[in-house]
Structure 1
């Protein structure tokens, strides 16, 4: 579904990505892990059109999307939930979710998303649907950010640090929901500070360091790899 080839991105005169190549197959959860400053967030921002690469290609469903504005990329079905959630605090939960429909664009003709679908995934959002987004807890805001993206019927969901700052019980709930969405056909590319959780819930993992992909493999195999255990599973990493 997503193929990235020899991607290089730089800003402020520094190369944040150096000839990165990766593949996200349809219906899979692919994780990106690595130390602080590895280029993981830069990669997602480049894919979603927030940043433009110096070289390389990004193919989404066999179409090169390099150079397209971010809103057109979103309307093609590639949705980005950034680090920090960026929900609209002055709007209610329900209004935040309705904003997500804007990314449907021409795809709205194929049918809208029933907001009740999101509420079934995250019942707490239905309970708090009339509360302002800014009044929610961190975990509830993360659910709202994911729910808002789902309102646009994503084909591929980019997630940047979904567990950041959340209590373990909420982290488990978020990841279990992602697994449920995968079983319904959603494809996910995620950055995750909790390497153990990333390897547990993903199908395939890439490890980035210094803007390069230095290691990759099936997540279950990497979880048992002594090198990965020593360098990435002994402590939590961050984007």
Structure 2
């Protein structure tokens, strides 16, 4: 896919298939929970943070409960599900995790709007690789079917590989979430245009296979606009680490406004 530098250094390109759409902003609350867990005093409240960002205009909440409970705990998931259910108006809850640890039974109990399946090991520091459908597809299919049978949209965390990303459709996924760590690492370097072109091609391949396209990991106020410009049909981004860091300086509501603006540039 040809990628061109546009106004203000933005990267744009020829679009394959998907049309421009408003991209939903889901705020990942893991880092709020991590801060809370440093002391046994119950604050900052994950639910209060969720309420604040929704009041500020976020489109949804993302949580990634890990088996060791180092940040989001199971009770947080239930509490946030109640918050989102009370909110209505199209706000969504997205639960991320490896379906082969404790994530699947929790998700089937809570019934969120979306489940994002990631291949993390239990002791992983963060999500840093996507699924290999050739290797993992057969064991993913039953989990995906269970989730979809309960009305849950399923997204698979995938590398931005145009040759393989569309394989997510073959195991029943509804969407892919492009792992944007490598994109963030290349941002503002001489590799930026080439890496962004690969992401645009991967998104186009997913779109042509009938998959929705989400994106997440290391997205910031600086690098999100170029990604959106190159992939105008991104359905959703989930942002947590950089969002929380920005909110330390400008506050949660202002951070929501800033990230929403970054998706409209």
TM over 0.5, yes or no? no
Q: Please classify the TM superposition score into its range, dividing by the shorter chain length.
A: 0.3 to 0.5
> Higher strand share goes to which structure?
1
The TM-score normalised by the length of structure 2 is 0.41
The TM-score normalised by the length of structure 1 is 0.45
> Higher helix share goes to which structure?
2
Name which structure has the greater RCO, CA cutoff 8 Å, separation 6+: 1
